Structure 1
């Protein structure tokens, strides 16, 4: 079956090449953002995987709840500990951040930056509650300057993602890399946006990352992908209509699974019998 890629820079193709033999795999996406657009995990979800999505932006969190009902979706930030933090949201982008300096830079560039207080919890506590007994096949971190705090909240001696990919600066001058290396991970690839790390016990997967995505990976880009063909207005409208239909279907399923809905149906049956 053709693999449909949604990620912005081939991340899902690289990961799928290494992990496609895993059935019912498990991921953690910190800074999940939109459930489809530029998503690293959407293709895996479509192929039967599930995971944990950590996303503080209300609109993206609500979309994740609607479109990823089998995932665990958390509206919070991953940090070093349980705390309340100031979050700088930039709607419609992947640039929202907990870093005040980065937020100021975006504001100075004319972006609509809005601050709010959000809850934070450590990645270890999230794993303890939602990943107990599960192998974590990959951990993706995209938090716009908050990487070190996320990593300091993770106990890599207990929780061992096979692959970690972290958005990193082009200069690759990140100060937090020693936290990953000292935890027994090897830097194996920089793709221009992310650095990939392999757990030392899974270095057998390294050959899968040695060459860039190519025709042998048998993939296609999703409709509307920036690397795909131009999309007509009619296709845009159709895609938007399909997305609205999927969201409506997800809302209907959630309503039908609610206790109130079930109680109403039971009452209807009782009245019909009367």
Structure 2
């Protein structure tokens, strides 16, 4: 069956390559955002997997609850301490953050930044409640500058995601990477947007990350994907109409009535 990719940078294809033989798998998505657009977990959910979505923004939280009934969707952020924190929402984007410095940078760029108070939980407490007695096949973290605080709230001695995927900035000057590598993980790939870490006890999966996605992965990009063609929905509609009109014209040209009309025209021209 063709794999439909929803993730923005083929992350789901790389993960599927490593984990495709495990049925009914489990994921944790910190900063889940939209249930479909640029989602790393959508393709897995469609194949029977389920997991935990951590998403503080109301409209994304509600959409996840509605479209992912098998998942546990929590309206909070992951942090190093429980309680309440200020969160900076940037509507209709994946750029919201709990980091005030990142929020200020984006406000300076003219983005529409809204401050709100949200609940905070540690990843360890989330795992204790929802993933205490099962393997975690992958943990995805996309928190726009809040990575270190998220990681400090996770007990990697007790909870051992097989693969950790963290969206990372271009600068590659992370102060937090040692929190992962010191916990027994190896950085096996940087794809230009994300860092992939493998648990020492699952390094047998490393070959899945050695090559970029290719046609042998038997995948297609989902409809409307940023890398798909045409990108503009209006262009896609126009293309569909043109293809339909072309099909109708071909059908007409192959019909007996069309050939009869053409013969009559040729007779009249010679007359």
User: What interval of TM-score do these two structures reach, taking the shorter chain for normalisation?
Assistant: 0.7 to 0.9
TM-score (norm 1): 0.85
State the match for 1:167 in structure 2: 167
Deviations 1:85-119 (A, max 9, x none): 00000001010001111111111111110000001
State the match for 2:91 in structure 1: 91
State the match for 2:11 in structure 1: 11
Secondary structure class of the residue paired with 1:17: helix
Tell whether 2:187 aligns with 1:192.
Answer: no
CA shift, 1:83, in A, is 1.4
In our comparison, the structure showing a higher alpha carbon Rg is 2
C-alpha distance in structure 1 between counterparts of 2:229 and 2:103, whole Å: 33
CA shift, 1:227, in A, is 1.3
CA shift, 1:215, in A, is 0.3
Secondary structure class of the residue paired with 1:179: helix
State the match for 1:233 in structure 2: 234
Tell whether 2:142 aligns with 1:149.
Answer: no
CA shift, 1:56, in A, is 0.4
State the match for 2:138 in structure 1: 138
Extract unaligned runs of 5+ from structure 1.
238-274
C-alpha distance in structure 1 between counterparts of 2:78 and 2:173, whole Å: 22
Number of aligned pairs? 237
Does the aligned pair in 1 maintain the 2:90–2:111 contact within 8 Å?
yes
C-alpha distance in structure 2 between counterparts of 1:161 and 1:172, whole Å: 23
State the match for 1:68 in structure 2: 68
C-alpha distance in structure 1 between counterparts of 2:135 and 2:91, whole Å: 33
State the match for 2:261 in structure 1: none
C-alpha distance in structure 1 between counterparts of 2:227 and 2:234, whole Å: 17
State the match for 2:222 in structure 1: 222
CA shift, 1:134, in A, is 1.1
Name segments (4+ residues, structure 1) moved above 6 Å.
none
Moved more, 142-151 or 224-233: 224-233
CA shift, 1:233, in A, is 2.6
State the match for 2:119 in structure 1: 119
C-alpha distance in structure 2 between counterparts of 1:46 and 1:103, whole Å: 34
Does the aligned pair in 1 maintain the 2:80–2:121 contact within 8 Å?
yes
Extract unaligned runs of 5+ from structure 2.
239-271
CA shift, 1:169, in A, is 1.3
Does the aligned pair in 1 maintain the 2:64–2:73 contact within 8 Å?
yes
What RMSD, in angstroms, separates the aligned Cα atoms of the two structures?
A: 1.2
State the match for 2:251 in structure 1: none
C-alpha distance in structure 1 between counterparts of 2:133 and 2:202, whole Å: 18
TM-score (norm 2): 0.86
CA shift, 1:37, in A, is 0.1
